[in-house]
A and B are shown apart, each in its own frame.
Chain A
């Protein structure tokens, strides 16, 4: 598990060179303008990155969870916003690959691999965040279709122009709640009644598109049901395991970028006649940051490797997400501290990385939710 294969080393090299050449030079501008990196998404599709985990027969590279971790980490070192949209797309790909019909896979996965079309995962609602069981969005059967009504919030890969389809989790039988009461639907953006609401103005990951989604008498055919009726909650939860590993990988990449910035700054910055890296206080900071980052990476790779082997990975995914998210925040904060006053200014990348890292302990399950998952596993 600790040693990467030749193919994985090659993948890392490839994604690193692409990310540093095509994405990193634009990270500052993307943060400043908040513009969605549409051209980068196209290039990622051409390279085969966007379809990294899509089976080969549907146009993807057919790679696994560990490969995903390596790729997301590399992209996150270059730009957190791009890493976020990438991690979300890989989550969506994974859910469709696992639960979709052949036709659904051909259509949606093919669209992503060939044309760089993006999908969203619409679970969260204003009243149902950590408590995903409290969904209000309904889907009512009507002849050979379902009619969806409700609103979703904080939906990634959805914006005024961004996002081509969404996996929507809706209540089909309120009495059954999470045990058979929810169903997943694939809904195209151009379906009447599918309305993209407010684009969120965020603290960090500013060029990732995150919006409200309003479903108003949105009618979809039964062929748009993803998986079976009543399996929506289970599909969402199994997807979240993989999503958490993706966000943990993003956290590792951001922490790495923060650590690299801190090391390089500490070697250059002269105070009291020598570089601040000669101060033991700074050295201890750096050593702690590097050690925690290494631990976060190992937790993340382990969770991914378990998933690749088909073993239970829920608790490990939560441990990785919890630890990597917290570590990224801690490392970014320390890295900013090492930069001193300059780190507080927008001239240095660490100011952006610090803001970008903040979401990592919140979305895809807060740190507190991850601890609930871990504890539940321990106490069962």
Chain B
């Protein structure tokens, strides 16, 4: 059983800075982390491996050289092998171009690591928040997909996924190979052990460039291959602070609330 976990390095801050000229994220000077949702995906893979030590977990990321730090964190936590996709030609890729490049890289990595039965992703990255790359990757690969997963369990040639829905949770079964994207579960990812952390620091992380990914149609990659054009970015205006109702009794508070809502013609 081989599991691929796709991860993204993201800035560790809610204060995203945007380059006003290029309309892209400024990464310099901002501490970086593994996208938390990707961390949950990795932990889900690690839990499958806990039950079956034969499972191999490979992590894959696309980004600049410094994204290797995120891959090392994944190696320290649970992954057995890591690959970085990095090439100037891939810079500025939107979600469509990114998922296209990832799908090609999946095939290339499979030549070295064997076929992946499962591909896990975070549901979305906390910087871009699009939630598109995972589902698009499944489409490029023509695999079934389950999104907003909380837990996953392998059962023969199927994967059983507990999926978050508005009313609670659904259990979905899908055939392998399959793409699953994860949301925040009830548990926290494990601490990396000291030994794994030391090994991760020394681990060799191969870089896949456009040369290695020779099947890629470069007109579908990078800024050129991205149909998404950022027209404008802006800081949303802060919402006005709400009204606090704290009357002498609960009944009086409820009456006040009713009055306010009906004055505003909401009810």
* Cβ of A311 under 8 Å from chain B: no
Contact A49-B195, Cβ < 8 Å, known A6-B201, A7-B201, A10-B201 = no
Contact A61 B191 (CB under 8 A): no
Closest CB in chain A relative to B46 CB, distance in Å: 13
> Which residue of the partner chain, among A6, A11, A43, contacts B194 with CB atoms under 8 Å?
A11
* Cβ of A270 under 8 Å from chain B: no
Contact B190 A46 (CB under 8 A): yes
* Cβ of A62 under 8 Å from chain B: yes
Q: Which chain B residues lie closer than 8 Å to A47 at the CB level?
A: 191, 193-194
Contact A18 B195 (CB under 8 A): no
Closest-by-CB residue of B relative to A22 is B191
Contact B194 A46 (CB under 8 A): no
Interface centre among A49, A60, A61, A63 (most CB of B within 10 A): A61
> Which residue of the partner chain, among B190, B191, B198, contacts A18 with CB atoms under 8 Å?
B191
Contact A48-B190, Cβ < 8 Å, known A6-B201, A7-B201, A10-B201 = no
Closest CB in chain B relative to A43 CB, distance in Å: 8
Per-residue CB proximity of A1-24 to B under 8 Å, as 1/0?
Answer: 000001100110010001000000
Contact B195 A46 (CB under 8 A): no
Contact B201 A61 (CB under 8 A): no
* Cβ of A56 under 8 Å from chain B: yes
Q: Which of A85-115 contact B (CB under 8 A)?
A: none
Q: Which of A32-52 contact B (CB under 8 A)?
A: 43, 46-49, 52
- In the bound assembly, the distance between CA atoms of A80 and B102 in angstroms comes to 49
Q: Which chain A residues lie closer than 8 Å to B191 at the CB level?
A: 18, 43, 46-47
Q: Which chain B residues lie closer than 8 Å to A11 at the CB level?
A: 194, 198
Q: Which chain A residues lie closer than 8 Å to B196 at the CB level?
A: 48
- In the bound assembly, the distance between CA atoms of A225 and B132 in angstroms comes to 63
Contact B190 A61 (CB under 8 A): no
Q: Which chain A residues lie closer than 8 Å to B160 at the CB level?
A: none
Contact A10 B190 (CB under 8 A): no
Closest CB in chain A relative to B201 CB, distance in Å: 6
Q: Which chain A residues lie closer than 8 Å to B190 at the CB level?
A: 46
* Cβ of B49 under 8 Å from chain A: no
- In the bound assembly, the distance between CA atoms of A6 and B194 in angstroms comes to 13
- In the bound assembly, the distance between CA atoms of A7 and B72 in angstroms comes to 13
- In the bound assembly, the distance between CA atoms of A46 and B196 in angstroms comes to 11
Q: Which of B171-224 contact A (CB under 8 A)?
A: 190-198, 201
Measured CB to CB, the residues of B under 8 A from A are 190-198, 201
6 A-B pairs with CB atoms under 8 Å apart are A18-B191, A46-B193, A47-B191, A47-B193, A61-B194, A62-B195
A11-B194, A14-B197 given; 14 more Cβ-contact pairs under 8 Å: A7-B198, A7-B201, A11-B198, A43-B191, A46-B190, A46-B193, A48-B193, A48-B195, A48-B196, A52-B194, A56-B195, A60-B195, A61-B194, A63-B194
